[in-house]
Each structure stands twice: as C-alpha cells, then as structure tokens.
Structure 1
Amino acid sequence: MAPGNLTWVTDFILMGVSDRPELQVPLFFGFLVIYGLTVAGNHHCPKMLVNFLFKMKTISYYCCGAQFGRFIVFVVAEIFILATMAYDRYVAICNPLLYMVVVFRQSRLLLVSLIYLYSLTMALTVSSCVFPVSYCSSKVINHFYCDNVPLLALSFSDTYIPEIAVFTFSGINLFFSMIIVLISYFNITLAILRIRSSKGRQKPFSTCASHMMAVTVFYGTLFFMHLQPRSNHSLDTDKMASVFYTLEIPMLNPLIYSLRNKDALKTFLNNPCQSLKLL
C-alpha cells in the first residue's frame, strides 16, 4: 500500500453484541440488570450499555487502549487471585496450625499488591505489542469492547509478533496459575481422603467446592478464548464467550461463594431478597 493512502486511526467503531435494531433496547435492559448485579455483588461494560441506545458507537483510539489495558489488568489479577485462594485453602486444610503464621494480614496485602503490580506490567507489555500496529481504513471492531483478536483483524501490517506475544503471555499466566491450583487441590484431596469420617470430609470439601466451581468456569472460558489458533477463531463465538466471563461470571461469583453450604442455600430459597442484600 502506498504511503499516501495511509490514514491515522483516531477512533474505532464497536459493533456490539448484535447489530439488529429491534434487539438494542431489550439487550440494554438485560445487560443493565446483569451489570447492576455485577457491580452490587462484585467489583465492566458501561460503554456497551451506551452503545445499545445510541447510533454512534465510536470509541477513541486512546480510550480503546485504556479499556484494553484495564481489561488485562483485572483478568490477570483474577487469574492469580484464584490461584492464591487455592493455596490459602491448601494451608488451611493441610497445615491448619501454620495458617496464621503463613497467611497473616501483611502477607496478604503484600501478595495482592504484587499481583496487581504484575498485572499492570503485563497490561502495559501486551498493549505495547497490540496497539503500535498499523490499521487500515476499516475501523469497525466486531466486538462490544476492545480485545486483541478483533483489533488485530483490522490491521494490514504483519501481526505475527503481537499474536505470538498475546498467546505466549496468556499461556504462561494460565499455566503457572493452573499449576498452583492443581498442586494445591491434589494435596487437599489427599488430606481429605485421609479423614475417616464422612462428616469430617464434608467440611473441607464444602470449603473448597465454591472455589473449585469458580476456577472451573473462569479458567475453562479463558482457555477457550485465548489458547486457540487464530484460524479457528470465530468473532461471533468469541463475543458470546466474552459476555460469559466478563459479565456473567462476576455476577455469579457472589452466589457461588455465598451459597456454598446447605444452610446458606436454604436461607436464599426462603428469603432471596435478604440474601442478595448480604452479598
């Protein structure tokens, strides 16, 4: 392509979840409920809500970069926080007498700080690989937020290095965090099997069940999203999977962690409104 035909991209157009006009208002209210529950119960997609109601679905180049970086920060942080929680349960079940020595307040604060520092470093590194590429005249992102796959699909320059960088960093993060989770739960399983009474086994199992459910759902979706070759990628399928792990999983996490035993489940069924207030 001749240099004179190049244009500097200043913004992108987000296609959103669906481009059918009659679905925009129902989708807005549906995702508004999900987003509200997510915020109320946990800690992501207000731009998507705005795009349901307005025809102009643009997001500036720099806001897109900021959204992409912020997304990486929280995803990487959650990956390693889940791994840390697995180690926490390992210490609590396998070495209960050392729990207060190993897991004290200062160590928890230091660990969370290191996780977010690493997540920020990872976000800056990956963003610096994805965003410097040259983009063609088409700036329509087939997604509801700025992600690496639909962004790189718009580039006319060689995307081999950014793709390899994203694949490598995603693989390393998932591999090491999964190793921590698997080793922790392997030892937990051995410790539980050594308990003779079924009632004694029930307590440590109920302690881990909610975390195992969250890990399985979250990691499974991430493996599906980020560790498949680009040739197998379907952006429409990716959008649906992204809705699942960016909105629905954070919405379900409070329920997963709160309804981890029979008493909590009975309380929720008897008085769901009061239970949701306590989340």
Structure 2
Amino acid sequence: MGAGNASDLSKFFLVGLTNELQLQPILFAFFFLIYAVTVVGSLGLLVLIVVSSRLHTPMYFFFSNLSFIDFCYSSITAPKMFILFWEPPKMLMRFFSGCQTISFSGCVVQTSCFVIFAVTEFFLLASMAYDHYVAICSPLLYRILMSTRFYLQLVAASYAVGLMNTVLLTSTIFHLTFCKSHVITHYSCDISPLLKLSCSDTQVLQLLLFVCGGFNVSVSLTVVLVSYTCVFMAIIRIPSAQGKHKTFSTCASHLTDVSLYYGTMVFVYLCPTSEYLLGRERLVSVFYTVVIPMLNPMIYSLRNKDMKETVGNVLKKTSQFFPLPIPRFP
C-alpha cells in the first residue's frame, strides 16, 4: 500500500489466530462455546443482581458492572452481535467464511471500546478491593464509608478514566500515517499491531501508551495492594482459624481475578515485545479478552453463599411454573 493518511484506508486485513484449515471447525466450536457460556454467565449474573433486592449492595453493584464489561469484552472479538460495530472481525464466522477484513471505522470503534473497557476494569477491580478493605477492617463504618453516593461515584470515575484514555490514545493512533501494509498481525484491531503498520514516528505514541498504561496499572494496583495489606493484617489478628478462613474466602475470588487480569495485561502491554513473542501475545490476549470474561461469573458466584442462595430461590420460584429438578449447592 502506498503512503497515505489513515483516513484514506477503507479496511484492514486480520491475520487471525491460525490459517490451518483443519483447525477452523475446532476453533469455531471452541470459541462459540466460550462465547455462549460468557453471555449466559455474565448476563445471568447481571439480571440476578438487578432483580434480587438482597443483592443490592456495593459489592454486588461492582459485580454487575464487571459482568457488563465481561459481556462487552467478549462481544468485541466474538460474533457480529455487538451493535456498535459497522464491520467487526467476526472471529467465529471468519473460521467458516474465510472473511478476515474489518473496515477502518470498525477498527476505530473496536479499539476505542477495547481501551475504555480494559481501563475501566482496572479501576473497578481497585474499587472492589477497597470495598473489601472497608467491609473487613471497618465493618461498623461500612454503611457510612460505602454510601450509595460514594460507590456510584467510584463506578462513574472508573468509566470516566476509561473514556479519557480512549479519547487520548485512539485519537492519536488514527492520526498516524499507515503505509507499510493493510495486514494486522492479530485477530482484532489491537494497539500494538496497529503501530507496526505505521510509517510515522511512533516513539511519542509508544511513550504515551507506556505512560497511560503504567499510570492505570500502578494507581489501581496500588489501591489493591494497600487494601489487601490491611485486610491480611486484620485477618492475622482474628483468633480462630475458622474465622480467618471465612474472612479470607470472601476475598479469594477477587484476588484470583486480579491476578489473572493484571498478569496478562502487564505481559502484553508493558513488557518489551519482539517478533518472537508476537504469536505468544495473541494467545495471551485471547485469554484476557475471551477466557477471563467466561471465568469471572464462575469465580464470583460458585464460592459466594448469597449468590448460591439467590439462585436457589429463583429456581424454586421458577419451578412453580415450570416443574424442574432443583440443584443442591454444596
């Protein structure tokens, strides 16, 4: 492709995960199953929190927003079900149709949505860590410190930071000149492979990306680490082993999610990259854009007593109209 401004492009070509034809039916079934589980789990958890009055607490409000982000994450790179895209990459349908293109406008929207959801999740996880800190270290002041107004402000601030990152990064990226190739060595419009297509000087943008990513990770992770340091100190002071286990179990799900999400994000965006690691980056990015959104509803619900009791109550009410066997949760 000859040199030209990004606005002159009509579409990009996506390499995808593999060009092996024999693997495409397997990948189709694999990602279709993952996406179906993600949609059912995320939207099911979201609806359950909305309709159940006993779950109208700050912790479950954070869960509901995390479920919404998980659904949006998977919908960005999965089938053509996310209405914001003009021509998404159709990860699933591409395995059968061979279509590997995405329009320039679709690439802009996909990158923008990815940035806002990724950054928002960083600060939502930090807000959830602070919520655990207040609940465990200052239980008598919990209703005062985590008032409705305050936790709504935390969630709104998380989305606001994500939006600011989106405006700053995507507006800069798509003012570059793309003259090297139409081909994006990825299965979606991600920032790193897009930079490799530009013949402009990207050093300033790479520095901006590193600064924004470093700020988002360092600020949110600092909140998480400080919160859990105080939580662990409080757990140590609990006299009984049963009390320590019960208290720690309330944080285990969130700690698992934090470890998975921060670990994969730091590996992809803040570690030095090379041609050798490009394929590995794609696999890791599949993990945080597709696999983690599928796992989160399970992580937060399977070990949650209130959630299991609420599901049981809903199933009991449903069985009055549709007689079905009611599963017993351990």
TM over 0.5: yes
**Distance change in 2, residues 1:5/1:219 (3 Å):** closer
1:215 paired to 2:212 = no
**Distance change in 2, residues 1:152/1:170 (3 Å):** same
Aligned to 1:269: none
Which consecutive residues of structure 1, in runs of 5 or more, have no partner in the other structure? Answer: 266-272
Distance in 2 of aligned mates of 1:177 and 1:69: 20
Deviations 1:37-64 (A, max 9, x none): 1122122222211222222311011110
Choose 239-248 or 156-165, whichever is displaced more: 156-165
Choose 229-238 or 160-169, whichever is displaced more: 229-238
The TM-score with structure 2 as length reference comes to 0.76
The 3-state SS of whatever aligns with 1:181 is helix
Distance in 1 of aligned mates of 2:91 and 2:116: 19
CA shift, 1:5, in A, is 4.4
CA shift, 1:130, in A, is 1.5
Aligned to 1:178: 221
1:120 paired to 2:163 = yes
Q: CA RMSD in A?
A: 2.3
1:201 paired to 2:244 = yes
Deviations 1:188-247 (A, max 9, x none): 011000111111111210100111111011111111111112347722111100110101
CA shift, 1:181, in A, is 0.3
1:27 paired to 2:27 = yes
Contact 1:206–1:261 (CA under 8 A) maintained in structure 2: no
The 3-state SS of whatever aligns with 1:234 is helix
1:148 paired to 2:191 = yes
Aligned to 1:135: 178
**Which amino acid in structure 1 is aligned with residue 148 of structure 2?**
R
Distance in 2 of aligned mates of 1:183 and 1:5: 51
Contact 2:195–2:202 (CA under 8 A) maintained in structure 1: yes
> What does 1:1-279 align with in structure 2 at a 5 Å threshold?
5-7=2-4, 8-42=8-42, 43=71, 44=74, 45=77, 46=79, 47-231=90-274, 234-260=277-303
The 3-state SS of whatever aligns with 2:13 is strand
**Which amino acid in structure 2 is aligned with residue 227 of structure 1?**
L
In percent, how many aligned pairs have the same letter? 43
Deviations 1:121-172 (A, max 9, x none): 1111111121211112521111111111111111122111111111111111
Which consecutive residues of structure 2, in runs of 5 or more, have no partner in the other structure? Answer: 43-70, 80-89, 309-324
Distance in 1 of aligned mates of 2:166 and 2:3: 28
The TM-score with structure 1 as length reference comes to 0.89
Contact 1:12–1:60 (CA under 8 A) maintained in structure 2: yes
Distance in 1 of aligned mates of 2:246 and 2:125: 20
Distance in 2 of aligned mates of 1:241 and 1:261: 28
Contact 2:180–2:198 (CA under 8 A) maintained in structure 1: no
